Structure 1
Amino acid sequence: MSSILTNNSAMVALQTLRSINKNLAMTQSQISTGKTVGSAKDNAAVWAISKVMEADVKGFQSISDSLSLGESTVAVAQNAAETISDLLTDIKGKIVNAQESNVDRNKIQDDINVLRDQITAVAGAAQFNGLNLLSNRENTADTGTVQVLSSLDRASDGTVGISYIDVSKNDLGLEVADYSAGTATAAGSGGSISGALDAASAVALTGAATAPTQTLVIDTVAAGTAVQVNITGAAGTVGAAFNDATRDVSYVARDGDSQADVANALADAFNARVSAAIDDGTLAATSTIAAAVTVAGTGVATITFTGETGTGNNFSLQAVETVGVSQGGGLEDLAGIDVTTDAGAESALGDIEGLIQTAIDAAADFGSVRGRIETQSEFISNLTDSLKSGIGALVDADMEAASARLQALQVQQQLGVQALSIANSAPQTILSLFRG
């Protein structure tokens, strides 16, 4: 049945053409934007996921900048520490030359002073953007470690955490610790130390058939707290050979130090004094005098001091704790090197080995952290690329398919227009029924 009021064919053709035009507009939008999901109305779930991932990409790009800054800072410190190590090695050569009695030790000392000044200059200049990792002399907490932002960690529940790479400072300054700035605490007062040597008076290690021992326990650590072990002995005894008159067996804790760090520093200083006494013949090479460290699972460190066997080989030890001390530099012993005398030249030879090791350890620490930062930086770069690829897989348009679909829709549009034209002309045939 034909009707001049309702043209069903035209309505069908019009609906088809509208659908074709809608798909054509969508395809043209995908081609122009390059995205199948350009807004939340296209696919709300995929759009939301892509936006979260895009936010993470932006965050990782900022982290990459942070890692680059951190790597540059550590690289400066590493290079400076290696330079200082080389300069200390040069000083060692000068000290070795000073062991001869027929050399101009004053001239050698002048050369050492020049190298020492150069070390000070290098340590002072080893800063990047105002941060010097070769200086750590503050008594406040959280100054001995620098945190480099390294990652954003998104949990399954959507919460985001932050990860850091900790960079510990390694002080290579020459400043001398100022004990006068601190306040000595009473022995046995329950401070940072305990054990037999934390007593009101010196504790004797009396030579006997069995080597005697005494202990010092490092219970807690606070920056600016100094622990000094005084060594005394009567004239003619082994104690007199290395009486402590210059605070050589002492250590000032820095921020970031553990109980083990303090205990090992004290033990190393004590053993160095013993080695020097053995080298100059004051103590026999078979001497049992030594200090050893053990660390409990809780972190508490115990130093066990062992004495000498044999009657008359007596000496005494006493630990003194001082709070509020102004720390010296990590190479403070370099300031006391003086090769103008026989005793000074001989003592300097032992001291320089420890100083060189300090600089080497610092350079190694910085090198290790720098390698970790480089690895993390490369990982973040690859992760960012992967996230971008994932976002693209979710929202990017398949341009080949879109191009083919565009051509097909353009043909369909033309056919739809033609079909609508035919449908609209159908009522015209009704006029022929009324012509005579």
Structure 2
Amino acid sequence: MASSINTNIAAMTALQSLNATNKELITVQNRVSTGMRVNDASDNAAYWSIATTMRSDRQALSTVSDALGLGAATVEVAIQGTEGAIKIASDIKAKLVAARTPGVDRAKIQSEISELQSSLQSVVDTGTFSGQNWLTADSQNDEMSRTLVSAFSRDSTGAISIGTISVDISDTLLIDSTAAATDKTGILDTQDTTTNGAVDYTILNFDISALTDDVDDLADLEQILATVDTAITNMTDAATTLGAIKTRVDVQKDFAKNLMDAIDVGVGQLVDADMNEESTRLQALQVRQQLGVQALGIANQSAQMILRLFQ
């Protein structure tokens, strides 16, 4: 190859090789420092686009999971309230059984029942979580359906949909806050009338202190007792319904968590760098860089040797 003082072909070749090595080295160093093979659209537009959409969906699923957690807590509070009401109603039932005994002081028993009735009202009123109470509502004016966000999905066309769980709280309503007594449909405040005394009563509001051992009075007492027993059965059914809802919410929450984990894995497969591979490439490129610098130095020195021909 002819030597020239104007064009150092060897140096130009060495410089091009060194520039290419440096470019690869920067790419690998970025992957090592970020842990990502595709960090922006310029790295791989298709993978970056897919990963960005999946990350957005994953964030939406995280919100769904939070909403399910909130819903699960709301249902759990309702369950605890219903179970508490069952226990208190069972105590009232026991007091009524005791009141059936001839000659017993029913006024004293009524004083205990009145305290239990107040406790029933308190349990229902305090069964609130995040501003929602599934145990009491106005059946005439309030929306009796409660909705929980349960899922987020995207179909093959890219269209998204939000899944929900609808709950009809009329099945779990313990106290109806509607104004008219005859319109109340709650398990504890549905109005009934004693057969013999013709006295209107609810489980939250009855008085046995004036009842005697008369056959008709005892029949009315047994009627109230039967009403309380029926209410306990209905509240047990309500608790069962709430338990089934809680189970469904928990299943959806677990599924959302597993789906988020799957998305994380999928995104990682698309954009994460293989650190073992990249660290090996980094060392190899560093060696190539050093050799390239040396080769460029040798190529630059070749022009200096031409001077010896003129000495």
- Shorter-chain TM range is 0.7 to 0.9
Q: Give the match for residue 100 of structure 1.
A: 101
Q: Give the match for residue 172 of structure 1.
A: 174
Q: 375, 393, 407: which one pairs with 2:269? A: 393
- 1: distance between equivalents of 2:4 and 2:179? 109
Q: Deviations over 1:258-295 (max 9, x none)?
A: xxxxxxxxxxxxxxxxxxxxxxxxxxxxxxxxxxxxxx
**CA shift for structure 1 position 161:** 0.5
**CA shift for structure 1 position 396:** 1.2
Q: Deviations over 1:225-271 (max 9, x none)?
A: xxxxxxxxxxxxxxxxxxxxxxxxxxxxxxxxxxxxxxxxxxxxxxx
Q: Give the match for residue 267 of structure 1.
A: none
8 A Cα contact 1:178 1:328, kept in partner: no
Per the alignment, do residues 176 and 391 of structure 1 end up closer, same or farther by CA in structure 2, a change over 3 Å counting?
closer
Give the secondary-structure state (helix, strand or coil) at the position aligned to 2:149.
Answer: strand
Confirm whether residue 60 of structure 1 aligns to residue 78 of structure 2.
Answer: no
Q: Deviations over 1:295-340 (max 9, x none)?
A: xxxxxxxxxxxxxxxxxxxxxxxxxxxxxx8434321131464442
- 2: distance between equivalents of 1:330 and 1:151? 32
Per the alignment, do residues 18 and 37 of structure 1 end up closer, same or farther by CA in structure 2, a change over 3 Å counting?
same
**CA shift for structure 1 position 138:** 3.6
Give the secondary-structure state (helix, strand or coil) at the position aligned to 1:381.
Answer: helix
Q: 320, 327, 331: which one pairs with 2:184? A: 327
Q: Give the match for residue 310 of structure 1.
A: none
Give the helix-richer structure, 1 or 2: 2
- 2: distance between equivalents of 1:112 and 1:145? 33
Per the alignment, do residues 84 and 375 of structure 1 end up closer, same or farther by CA in structure 2, a change over 3 Å counting?
same
Q: Give the match for residue 208 of structure 1.
A: none
Q: Deviations over 1:176-212 (max 9, x none)?
A: 8727xxxxxxxxxxxxxxxxxxxxxxxxxxxxxxxxx
**CA shift for structure 1 position 116:** 1.3
104-113 vs 117-126, which deviates more? 104-113
- What amino acid sits opposite 1:137 in the alignment? D
TM-score scaled by length of structure 2 = 0.87
Give the secondary-structure state (helix, strand or coil) at the position aligned to 1:334.
Answer: coil
**CA shift for structure 1 position 102:** 2.2
Q: 414, 417, 422: which one pairs with 2:293? A: 417
- 2: distance between equivalents of 1:351 and 1:381? 45
**CA shift for structure 1 position 3:** 2.0
- What amino acid sits opposite 2:203 in the alignment? L
Q: Give the match for residue 25 of structure 1.
A: 26
Q: Deviations over 1:8-33 (max 9, x none)?
A: 21111111101000000111111111
- What amino acid sits opposite 2:164 in the alignment? Y
Q: 262, 279, 288: which one pairs with 1:403? A: 279
- 2: distance between equivalents of 1:112 and 1:329? 19
Per the alignment, do residues 175 and 27 of structure 1 end up closer, same or farther by CA in structure 2, a change over 3 Å counting?
closer
Q: Deviations over 1:336-394 (max 9, x none)?
A: 64442313212113212211112111211111111221222122122212211221121
Q: Map 1:221-232 to 2 at 5 A.
A: none
Q: Give the match for residue 285 of structure 1.
A: none
Per the alignment, do residues 174 and 18 of structure 1 end up closer, same or farther by CA in structure 2, a change over 3 Å counting?
closer
72-81 vs 356-365, which deviates more? 356-365
Q: Give the match for residue 199 of structure 2.
A: none
CA RMSD of aligned residues (A): 1.9
- What amino acid sits opposite 2:174 in the alignment? L
Give the secondary-structure state (helix, strand or coil) at the position aligned to 2:136.
Answer: coil
Q: Give the match for residue 147 of structure 2.
A: 147
- 2: distance between equivalents of 1:139 and 1:345? 31
- 2: distance between equivalents of 1:144 and 1:132? 11
Identity over the aligned pairs, expressed in percent? 40
8 A Cα contact 1:177 1:328, kept in partner: no
- 2: distance between equivalents of 1:131 and 1:83? 18
Count residues with an aligned counterpart: 289
- What amino acid sits opposite 2:157 in the alignment? D
- 2: distance between equivalents of 1:130 and 1:11? 75
- What amino acid sits opposite 1:348 in the alignment? I
- 1: distance between equivalents of 2:218 and 2:149? 52
Per the alignment, do residues 336 and 421 of structure 1 end up closer, same or farther by CA in structure 2, a change over 3 Å counting?
closer
Give the secondary-structure state (helix, strand or coil) at the position aligned to 2:203.
Answer: helix
Q: Deviations over 1:18-77 (max 9, x none)?
A: 100000011111111111111100000000111111111111121222111111111111
8 A Cα contact 1:36 1:395, kept in partner: yes
8 A Cα contact 1:77 1:126, kept in partner: yes
**CA shift for structure 1 position 426:** 1.8
Confirm whether residue 370 of structure 1 aligns to residue 239 of structure 2.
Answer: no
Q: Give the match for residue 347 of structure 1.
A: 223
Give the secondary-structure state (helix, strand or coil) at the position aligned to 1:147.
Answer: strand
- What amino acid sits opposite 2:280 in the alignment? A
Give the secondary-structure state (helix, strand or coil) at the position aligned to 1:36.
Answer: coil
Per the alignment, do residues 413 and 176 of structure 1 end up closer, same or farther by CA in structure 2, a change over 3 Å counting?
closer
- 2: distance between equivalents of 1:329 and 1:176? 10
Per the alignment, do residues 118 and 174 of structure 1 end up closer, same or farther by CA in structure 2, a change over 3 Å counting?
farther
8 A Cα contact 2:74 2:132, kept in partner: yes
8 A Cα contact 2:14 2:295, kept in partner: yes
- 1: distance between equivalents of 2:177 and 2:276? 70
Per the alignment, do residues 353 and 175 of structure 1 end up closer, same or farther by CA in structure 2, a change over 3 Å counting?
farther
Query: Gapped runs of 5+ residues in structure 2?
Result: 190-201, 212-216
Q: Give the match for residue 110 of structure 2.
A: 109
- 2: distance between equivalents of 1:175 and 1:18? 80
Q: 376, 379, 388: which one pairs with 2:255? A: 379
Per the alignment, do residues 176 and 429 of structure 1 end up closer, same or farther by CA in structure 2, a change over 3 Å counting?
closer
